[in-house]
Amino acid sequence: MRAFLSSCLRVCLVFAIGIIIFDNAQAAPAKAQVPGYYRYAVGDFEVTALNDGYLNLNPAGMKGLSAEKIQKLLVRAFALNAKGVLTSVNAYLVNTGDHLVLVDAGSAKCFGPTAGTLPDNIRAAGYASEEVDTILLTHMHGDHFCGLATADGKRAFPKATVWAAEEEAGYWLNEQVAAAQPANQRGAFKQARDTLGLYQTAAAFRTFKPGETILPGVSTLATHGHTPGHTAFLFESKSQAFLAMGDIVHFHAVQFAHPEVSILSDVDPKQAIATRKALFEKLAKSGTAVAGSHLPFPGIGHIRKDGKGYAWVPVEYGPPVQER
């Protein structure tokens, strides 16, 4: 009996120690987000929102509202962090059935390690860069075109034709325009010339005029101001519509309620404000689904009127095909 009890005691002790060890075991934190893609249906078109990472923007770059009011709006939206305002960088891949169209090409490594994840997320979404046949640039800031080139200076989308507005190309790709800029801004122009030059050399770069249709169901909408040829792209299928509006908004916690707020990188602040106000009014009335390059991922939703300003209504997570 004594031996039996001793044996039971040893078994119980081992079992108890095992429970303690199990209870104290900790899994290592993943420290990584899930792949950044999201599906959204527009008629027969399938839109895949793609995350390229994020940037931290300085709220001091906003003009048109007092710093105190801007601070209150950012705090109210929990939008501030120790490095500024975390701002998503988004691109949109649209499968029309006949074409695979990418709106903006991401930032590659032009803005450091927090952005440049677009190629990984294209693959995670089930596509390959080689399948993209059309790339539409909303404008030629680096976080929208740097991803056109690989690290070794080749075309990242070897079978794609790149499209940009005539006014945009005439500004960023013009060496005389670049020479007239302050010295600290000329690098951005050279970067655009070098990157887009890869596609020009391959006869894979074209320009369009405002309002022109690029492909069946894909048309352009001039939204100038942020840059001289900034353009939004309208996708229409089976009476449904989706507008990829680019950089109309950078600080969602401020610029929806106060569309009169411009930012430091606006080439023409007055025109950017006028464009934003007119576009918000139009979208609030029509209810058209919209996507923004710097809205919280996936950056898709609707704009509604809210008092004297507007409000952003993000899409809810759900199946790609929904009753709308």
Class in CATH terms, 35-57+84-247+265-301? alpha beta
CA 152 from centre of chain: 24
Residue 32: per-residue pLDDT: 83
Burial class of residue 267 (count of CB atoms within 10 Å of its CB; 0-12, 13-18, 19+): middle
Among candidates 132, 77, 23, which has minimal Cα distance to 255?
77
Q: Which residue has tokens 């209150």?
A: 72
Per-domain boundaries in the chain: 35-57+84-247+265-301
pLDDT tens-digit map of 187-221: 999 999 999 999 999 999 999 999 999 999 999 99
How many CB atoms sit inside 10 A of residue 239's CB? 6
CA 47 from centre of chain: 13
Residue 170: per-residue pLDDT: 98
- The whole-angstrom separation of Cα 147 and Cα 195 is 9
Q: pLDDT truncated to tens, each residue of the chain (324 aa)?
A: 454 445 544 544 444 444 444 455 578 898 888 889 999 999 999 999 999 999 999 999 999 999 999 999 999 999 999 999 999 999 999 999 999 999 999 999 999 999 999 999 999 999 999 999 999 999 999 999 999 999 999 999 999 999 999 999 999 999 999 999 999 999 999 999 999 999 999 999 999 999 999 999 999 999 999 999 999 999 999 999 999 999 999 999 999 999 999 999 999 999 999 999 999 999 999 999 999 999 999 999 999 999 999 999 999 998 887 655
SS3 242: strand
Contacts made by residues 208-214, CB under 8 angstroms, sequence distance 24+: 208/163, 208/164, 208/165, 208/166, 209/165, 209/166, 210/165, 214/134, 214/136, 214/163
SS3 151: coil
Cis ω on the peptide bond leading into residue 298 (within 30° of 0)? Answer: yes
Among candidates 178, 191, 198, which has minimal Cα distance to 135?
198
Determine the straight-line distance between the first and last CA of the chain, rounded to whole angstroms. 76
- 135 Cβ contact partners less than 8 Å away, ≥ 6 residues apart: 101, 102, 103, 104, 105, 148, 157, 160, 161, 162, 163
Residue 24: per-residue pLDDT: 52
Q: What CA–CA distances, in Å, run from 160 to 100, 205, 206, 210?
A: 9, 9, 11, 21
